[in-house]
Each structure stands twice: as C-alpha cells, then as structure tokens.
Amino acid sequence: MTKSNTMWGGRFAEGPDAIMEAINASIGFDRRMARQDIEGSRAHAAMLAATGIVTASDAEAIREGLLTVLSEIESGTFDYSTALEDIHMNVEARLTELIGAPAGRLHTARSRNDQVALDFRMWVRDQADAAIDALPRLMAALVDQAEAGADWVMPGFTHLQTAQPVTWGHHMLAYVEMFARDLGRMQDARRRMNECPLGTAALAGTSFPIDREMTAKELGFDRPAANSLDAVSDRDFALEFLSAATICAMHLSRLAEELVIWSSAQFRFVRLSDRWSTGSSIMPQKRNPDAAELLRAKIGRILGAQVALLTVMKGLPLTYSKDMQEDKEQVFDAADSLMLALAAMTGMVSDMTAEKENLEAAASSGFSTATDLADWLVRVLDLPFREAHHVTGALVKLAEEAGIDLPELSMEQMHAVEPRITEDVFEVLGVRNSVASRTSYGGTAPDNVRAQAARWKEKLA
C-alpha cells in the first residue's frame, strides 16, 4: 500500500511534517467506520453505472474490489497508513492497488465531505439500532421481576426516608416506564437521522446527473437530504443520539445507585449474583457491587461526549470545517459505554434476588402507614385533611416515644389523641392493606401491578 498522500496534486510543493500529519490524521479512530464507508462507496459505484457516469465494467470492478478491501479489514490484514489521513483515502488507495485505474473513478460526483457525513450517519444509525434492540431486553427483565413480586411489600422513599409502602413490582415497573421513554427517544432520533447526505458533494451538490434517490434507497434511508449545505455540515443526528444516550445513562445510573444501596448490609433488599459482584483483597466478608458502581459512573463519559460535541459544533459557520473531525471519538466511546451498560444492567436485573422478608420488614417500620391513617381519619371521621394530618403527627410522636410502630398503639393511646378512632383503624395500618388500597390508576396495588406487567409483556412481545 502506498504510504504517501498524493491527493493534493500539484497545489503543495512539500508534504506535511510529522506534527501536522499527527494532528490532521483521523485513521486512528475513523477506521471504525470502514464497513459503512465501503457500503456507501459500493452504492455510489452502482449509481454511477446506472446513470451512465461510469461504465458498468468499471463499477463492477470497484464493487468487487471494495469487498476484497472489506474482507482484509475484517480479517485484520489491512495495512492502515497515517499518511493517508482517514478511512476514505486508506480504502481508496488499497482499491487502486487491487484494481488499478477504475478505482480513480469512484470519487466522481462526491466529496470527502458528503462521504464522511454519510459514513458517520450510518455508523450512528447502527448504534441507535443496537440500543433499540437492547432496551426491550432490559425492560423485559424488569417486567419479569415485577410479575414475580407484584404483591411483595417494600418501603417507598422520598428523600431516602421511609414514606409509604409500595410493592416490589411497582418499583420495578417505574424503571420500565423510564426505559420505555428512552426507547421512544432513540426511535425518534433514528427516524430523524434517516436522510442520506450522499451526493451533496463538497457543499453545493454536483453537475453530474446522479440519482440520489437510488443511493438513499440502497443504503436504507427514507430519503435524500434536501439541502446540500446542511447535509455536509449537520451533526444533529449524533447530538440527538448522545442526548437520548445521556438520559438513558442517567436512568441506568439511578437504578444502579438503588442496587448499590439495596445490596448493602444495612438494607439487604437484594442479593446480586456472583456474576456481578466482587470480593475484597483484604476483607473476606465483602461482596462489592462493582458492576453497579461502574454503571453508575458511565453517565459521566456519555454526558461528557454530548457536551464535547455541542462545544465543537456551537460556533461553526456553514459548511464543513476541520473542527468536525473532532466529532467522532467521543461518540464512539459513548456508544460503547451505553451498550456495555445496557448489557450489564440487563444481566444484573435478570440475576438479582429480592429479599422478600427484609423488604416487608423495612416497609413495616418507619411509620410508613401514617398517610393511610390520615386518609382514614378524613374518610371515616370526616376530619379536614389538615386536622387529620395533625392528629396523625401526634400519634406518630406518641408511638416514637414509646419505641413502637403505629399498628402497635393501643386504642387507649389513640383515644388520648382522638377519642372517635375505632378498632376499624387497624385495617389500614398494616402494610399489606395499605398497598392493596392504592387502586387508583398508576397506583401500587398488586392487581394494578399485574395488569401493568401483563400490558408490558404484550407490548414487548
């Protein structure tokens, strides 16, 4: 393979020195787009032949030669050259070695500007497809957990303080809703990115009689991009992917944080399998939730990528500027991080065991049915809610001073605060009765959870 870059022709008398070559080259990272580059070039060659711009024999030689190049890349035998700057020129140079003069016709009616816009868009589209495929698997694992624990009682928290009893299934389904929104955002971004920039050339289009509809269809796009200036300089597709990925990573981080807390000796709500835990080099009793902790941190990389790309793009005039070479590495890293995080979380959720007895014991402490008591005072004794709130607070204080929970108060103790309370109050003070009563749509009642789990299983199927 040639090691010198002669594409500049006679314009420059001297080649770049080592520092310029190093800062200018992108082959160290954009080689990841090799498959997309070759797919785009094969579609472009077919179109050039169909429109009579190149001969059918030259186009066939180009298309077959590109398959050979792809085979070399995939087998690891391809010799990359930094002097050739990027994946486009590396592929074209090797193609020239393989088929000779016809390779020089491949770049007719296109520019590296629309070529890289195409390659990068296709690569990001593939990553969106991967996320769209992975998210339902995580959601299905959460639905399985929800179905198994539809009536398992646990504490619901605000401010990480015990608030009201909820069910394990209801808590799992909360994350299903979050990841469903992530799935919708990724699908929406994918629809919007599915316009083909190929054929817009350097920035103004081309005078050759190309068929952009043909290449768009061949490459799986809905349509060709409508404005050449925008097409070569648009990176919104990458920003939208990163935005969806960042929100998804935030949701993964929230769930990971709960798994870290829940698996601690102080909570003992869940047990993570050995596949997702590690030991300590010095403390033999430790089971560290390292996978969850690493997942919790992934948002930093993904959010960082979004901020980095926004910063690159924020002040660029139309159309292409070399700044845009800085658009890829952070997106590559973010996509890798997201896919790894989704796979790891799916594994953890599938394998984890909820400690049912510990969940219910925790739900039964911390005066978690205080709101149920206040609601009962309103419903049965017709107290204004603010007065019921005050009465309940006084009963909580009484129980706290006695070192007991609300269901353990005697009628005598309750009557000292509100004489009209009857024995019926104990029906709402148990945590199981509490969750069973939350039958409003979206509430935590076990029947609601089962219905929602069934709905999601049907949708995910």
- Which residue intervals of 25-108 are DSSP H helices? 27-30, 34-50, 56-75, 87-99
Of 36, 231, 27, the closest CA to residue 117 belongs to 231
Spell out the residues 6+ positions from residue 165 whose beta carbon is closer than 8 angstroms to its own. 153, 154, 155, 156, 363, 364, 368, 369, 431, 434, 435, 444
The pair phi, psi for residue 330, each rounded to 5°, is -70, -30
CB atoms inside a 10 Å sphere around CB 427: 12
Report CA 355 to chain centroid distance, whole Å.
29
281 CB burial (10 A radius; 0-12, 13-18, 19+): exposed
Distance in angstroms (rounded) separating the CA atoms of residues 330 and 93? 27
Question: Is 273 assigned a catalytic role?
Answer: no
Of 75, 159, 281, 440, the catalytic one is: 159
Of 264, 280, 321, 365, the catalytic one is: 280
- Which residue intervals of 219-271 are DSSP H helices? 228-233, 236-262
Angle between helices 112-148 and 446-460 (to 10 degrees): 140
Q: What does each C-alpha distance from 302 to 26, 185, 307, 308, 338 come to in angstroms?
A: 21, 16, 9, 10, 8
Largest CA distance in the chain: 101
Are 173 and 142 in contact by the 8 Å Cβ rule? The answer is yes
Of 250, 266, 219, 214, the closest CA to residue 119 belongs to 219
Distance in angstroms (rounded) separating the CA atoms of residues 297 and 408? 43
Distance in angstroms (rounded) separating the CA atoms of residues 414 and 50? 89
One-letter amino acid of 402: A
Distance in angstroms (rounded) separating the CA atoms of residues 324 and 313? 7
Are 293 and 255 in contact by the 8 Å Cβ rule? The answer is no
Spell out the residues 6+ positions from residue 70 whose beta carbon is closer than 8 angstroms to its own. 34, 35, 38
Question: Is 280 assigned a catalytic role?
Answer: yes
The pair phi, psi for residue 313, each rounded to 5°, is -85, -15
Residues that are catalytic: 159, 280
